[in-house]
A = this chain, B = another copy of it.
């Protein structure tokens, strides 16, 4: 098997040896007098202990020792969280080969460093025709040549992917990577079946692509029968399986998987993790050292301690409740769409995640739409922000809108969709 290092960008390959790499293990030996540190003396750190009172009635207490570590640089604070992340990944995805994990300072920081680790300016990247707006912005700003690939109701389409690979190869400059959001795709709400994922993995092997698997919505599946295009009403078992994930089938060391706590716990922790072949983890750590430092120590220690105190059972309980809530909301928005958007838009039922992706029959540009939304007091994200071809939806006269169903109150979601229906009908008559 070829080394995964062939995927590294110039930037990753040029990263010098970190001067502290060899020192950190020695710092932990109390016999050594450490004159290499660059932090205030711990006695001057302001916090003695920290206490988080959880909504479930329990309390997470950080001891004096842990609170001190939480005020140091991340490598002293991430132990508990890394343990959780490693064992959870092992349990859910059980990746083959020589893999590792590393903490990210939130999903977007992870995407930032993974792109930076793999892509040079001018490289060709395959991407779902509608994708995560901030990732798109990164790619556009960094001069990556993006090739949009068709997404149908079951996620990125293998035939379209193969055709794009062929086109790139024929141009003399093959594609380097494919960026995929496999579950509850943002913004289309589609999910890949295990079979389709295997087909895509096979194409990646054939065209020597690295797969960047951004699975932010993995924990938010609306069905245990993974990723089916339907909602399940009854009380499901929250135990998830990562059997269909790319990392779970990565026998060729060509997958970098991104997970995040933002969508399954809270965005304010700014934490997530990557799973990848060890050679790529090393490169990621190198780039993180002179940028994100992999996130906030305080947050790592709090979250790590909370997950430890929850145990596997507590986490599953949390996921289950969140899933139930989002599934109900997804039902509300789908029902509201049927009632209020029929005739002015089309959509399909989301299989996972947070979004209903609606195709308007009439085009409105982002500014015009925002104005109308203000007038009708409802907010959504215009589809033009969700594609590398800004304004592409104009080409066939259609236009998209991403509606989330994360509001607390299902009645508010319904009301929002009702208002949207109103403005679309009004828009139609004005156009």
**Judging by beta carbons under 8 Å apart, are A407 and B33 in contact?**
yes
Q: Are A416 and B35 in contact (CB under 8 A)?
A: yes
Question: Does any Cβ of B come within 8 Å of A34's Cβ?
Answer: yes
A374 surroundings in chain B (CB, below 8 A): 26, 32
A291 touches B35 (CB 8 A): no
State the Cβ distance, A123 to closest chain B Cβ, in Å.
14
- Tell whether, in the assembled complex, residue A289 and residue B134 are in contact, meaning their CB atoms are under 8 Å apart: yes
A135 to B56, CA, bound (A): 44
A240 at the binding interface (Cβ < 8 Å): no
Surface stretch bound by B, among A65-73, A192-200, A221-229, A392-400: A65-73
Give Cα A380 to B33, complex, Å.
Answer: 9
What residues of B have a CB within 8 angstroms of the CB of A54 in the complex?
Answer: 46-48
Assess whether A50 is in contact with B47, with CB atoms less than 8 Å apart.
no
Across the interface, which residues of B come within 8 angstroms of A46, CB to CB?
54-56, 265-266, 306, 318
- Assess whether A44 is in contact with B404, with CB atoms less than 8 Å apart: no
Query: CB distance B404 to A38 under 8 Å?
Result: yes
The answer, yes or no, to whether A53 is at the interface (CB within 8 Å) is: yes
- CB contacts (< 8 Å) of A20 on chain B: these are 133, 381
Whether the pair A33, B268 counts as a contact (CB closer than 8 A) is no
Whether B299 lies near A407 (C-beta < 8 A) is no
The segment from A103-111, A168-176, A249-257, A340-348 found at the interface with B is A103-111
Please pick, from B39, B47, B298, the residue contacting A406 in the complex, using a CB distance under 8 A: B39
Instruction: Point out the residue from B31, B41, B142 that lies within 8 Å of A408, measured CB to CB.
Output: B41
- The listed residue (B38, B44, B142) touching A11 by CB distance below 8 A is B142
Q: State whether A140 and B16 are in contact (beta carbons under 8 Å apart), knowing that A262-B39, A263-B39 are contacts in the complex.
A: yes
Considering only residues 18-71 of chain A, those with a C-beta below 8 Å from chain B are 18-20, 22-23, 26-27, 31-56, 69-71
Given contact pairs A11-B143, A23-B379, A270-B297, a sample of 18 additional A-B residue pairs in the complex whose CB atoms are under 8 Å apart: A14-B140, A14-B142, A18-B133, A27-B379, A32-B377, A33-B379, A36-B379, A36-B404, A40-B266, A41-B325, A49-B52, A50-B53, A73-B268, A105-B109, A112-B292, A269-B296, A291-B291, A296-B296
- Can you name 27 A-B pairs with beta carbons within 8 Å? A12-B141, A16-B136, A18-B133, A20-B381, A23-B370, A27-B379, A32-B379, A34-B416, A35-B378, A35-B417, A38-B404, A39-B262, A40-B263, A40-B322, A41-B406, A48-B53, A50-B52, A70-B268, A71-B267, A72-B267, A74-B270, A108-B290, A108-B291, A134-B289, A138-B290, A270-B293, A298-B298
**The 5 residue pairs across chains A and B that have the minimum distance between CB atoms:** A19-B385, A268-B297, A33-B416, A296-B296, A71-B266
